Amino acid sequence: MQDLPHHYHVSASAETTGNIMLKADDLPQLVTAPPAEFGGPGDQWSPETLLVGAVADCFILTFRAIARASKLEWTNLECSAEGVLERVERVTRFTAFTVNARLTVPAGTDADKAQRLLEKAEEACLITRSLLAESHLEAEVIVAA
């Protein structure tokens, strides 16, 4: 890992109507639009879906690092995330995120250790730790036969 602070730069451009183009050096361009809930087409990534996707992505990347450091063998991690957008004190914001994780580990793996590492990943995820909303993990460890 590089020394902190890290700086991430993204540029966005749009015309009066239509999609927004997101660009960052050395990355493919992303096309976004408002979600259906805000009158958008609902068939493209939106700021809301990108944020919830960042929560799921960060959880898996954090778990990978923790599992590697803890020498936990695992074969698959499926993760879904849900963000709840509400109006609180006249401000619309995300109030909660729930991460559903399903981890598969080889036979003979300590399932309790795997569960603890999933919980540690949820606590350490830099995306959810950077947000005001509460974060909750629902995890299942499957020990392969």
Q: Which strand ranges, in their side-by-side order, compose the sheet holding 30-32?
A: 11-14, 20-23, 30-32
For the chain, the average pLDDT equals 96
Domain ranges of the chain: 47-143
Each residue's pLDDT tens digit, 17-73: 999 999 999 999 999 999 999 999 999 999 999 999 999 999 999 999 999 999 999
Is the CB of residue 135 less than 8 Å from the CB of residue 99?
yes
- CATH number of this structure's domain 47-143: 3.30.300.20
**Cα(99)–Cα(40) distance, rounded to whole angstroms?**
25
